[in-house]
């Protein structure tokens, strides 16, 4: 076997070749495709399923296309083959192309009818499903829900590209890169004496944001549509950074004021009131379900106060 053999690791779900693979493909005596990849798709490169072809059986250089380092790829590598990988994020190119196809003429009729407003409910739903996957520690669901949230980003960017003042996913990504670089001068431009730790970095982030956006109020940019507990905490945090004394927070005996103060003071103490309350709510939900299961197992279908107490988990 020649050391010119090459293993090209495409990564799962992508049809983009790394540029470095092109010279190897031009000089290859054979191009094989791993099981699980679409051999017909790669047929334009002269690729064929690897089948039972043993390593070393081809007279000349071999290029092996695989989603990951399978047994055949590992055997090639052990014999001296070069390994080429796609850079991280390559599959995003495919995701953008798929979204474009769905939205274009001849694509999906439902996708073609949507606009920013009609998609709002799905953005909210997918975000909460992602949050639930994080809370449950479910890695499989986390991966799936991250993809669903990404779909919403790609969908909205594709719709925006059709506007009278268009922008697309490249502009969205470009703005994000500029924001991240600009808000982290200590990383991209050398040391920043104002950044000593995570807390000072967060404070510096807000300072740079206010200068960048030329905001007139310490509350500019606070998302008023977020859940009320999170909103109360955010308002308290922003105003505290602006020097507002605690005694000027809302005062009164109403349930709303009490809830606001609990959320605000928790945030000022370094807690996340939304996360804390969700954790308590999820634990309560777990206990209710456990008590109901225990009651059913005991043949009790209807629970009164005494039954709830009897089957309530310790």
**What tens digit of pLDDT does each residue of 179-214 get?**
888 888 877 777 777 777 777 777 777 777 767 777
pLDDT level of residue 2 (50, 70, 90 thresholds): very low
Q: Closest Cα to residue 162, out of 113, 92, 209, 195?
A: 113
pLDDT at 83: 93
Residue 291: both structure tokens together: 């008590």
**Mean pLDDT, range 114-140, rounded to an integer:** 94
DSSP H or E run through 169: helix 169-182
SS3 call for 179: helix
pLDDT band at 269 (very low <50, low <70, confident <90, very high): very high
CA atoms 97, 99, 102, 106: torsion sign: negative
φ/ψ of residue 33, rounded to 5:
-115, 135
Alpha carbons 245 and 268: distance in angstroms, whole number: 12
62-66 and 47-49 strand pairing? unpaired
Average pLDDT over residues 140-168: 96
- Number of neighbours of residue 213 by Cβ within 10 angstroms: 10
What pLDDT, on the 0 to 100 scale, is given for residue 217? Answer: 87
HSE of 277, CA atoms in CB hemisphere, 13 A: 16
Over residues 235-241, the mean pLDDT reads: 92
């Amino acid at each position: 076997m020649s050391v010119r053999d090459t293993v090209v690791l495409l990564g799962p779900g992508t049809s983009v070749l790394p540029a470095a693979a092109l010279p190897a493909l031009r000089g290859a005596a054979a191009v094989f495709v791993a099981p699980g990849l679409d051999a017909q798709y790669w047929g334009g490169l002269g690729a064929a399923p690897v089948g039972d072809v043993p390593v070393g059986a081809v007279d000349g250089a071999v290029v092996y296309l695989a989603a990951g380092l399978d047994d055949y790829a590992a055997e090639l590598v052990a014999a001296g083959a070069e390994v080429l990988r796609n850079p991280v994020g390559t599959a995003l190119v495919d995701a953008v192309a798929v979204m474009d196809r769905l939205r274009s003429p001849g694509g999906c009729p439902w996708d073609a009818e949507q606009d920013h407003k009609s998609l709002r409910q799905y953005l909210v739903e997918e975000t909460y499903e992602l949050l639930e996957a994080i809370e449950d520690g479910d890695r499989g669901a986390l991966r799936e829900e991250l993809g669903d949230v990404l779909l919403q980003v790609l969908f909205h960017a594709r719709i925006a590209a059709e506007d009278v003042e268009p922008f697309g996913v490249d502009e969205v990504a470009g703005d994000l890169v500029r924001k991240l670089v600009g808000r982290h001068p200590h990383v991209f431009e050398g040391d920043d004496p104002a950044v000593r730790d995570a807390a000072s970095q967060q404070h510096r982030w807000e300072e740079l944001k206010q200068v960048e956006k030329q905001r007139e109020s310490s509350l500019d940019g606070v998302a008023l549509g977020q859940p009320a507990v999170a909103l109360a905490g955010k308002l308290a945090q922003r105003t505290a950074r602006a020097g507002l004394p605690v005694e000027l927070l809302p005062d009164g005996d109403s349930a709303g004021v009490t809830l606001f103060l609990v959320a605000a003071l928790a945030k000022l103490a370094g807690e996340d009131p939304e996360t804390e309350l969700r954790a308590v709510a999820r634990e309560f939900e777990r206990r209710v379900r456990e008590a109901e299961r225990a009651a059913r197992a005991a043949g009790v279908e209807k629970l009164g106060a005494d039954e709830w107490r009897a089957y309530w988990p310790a």
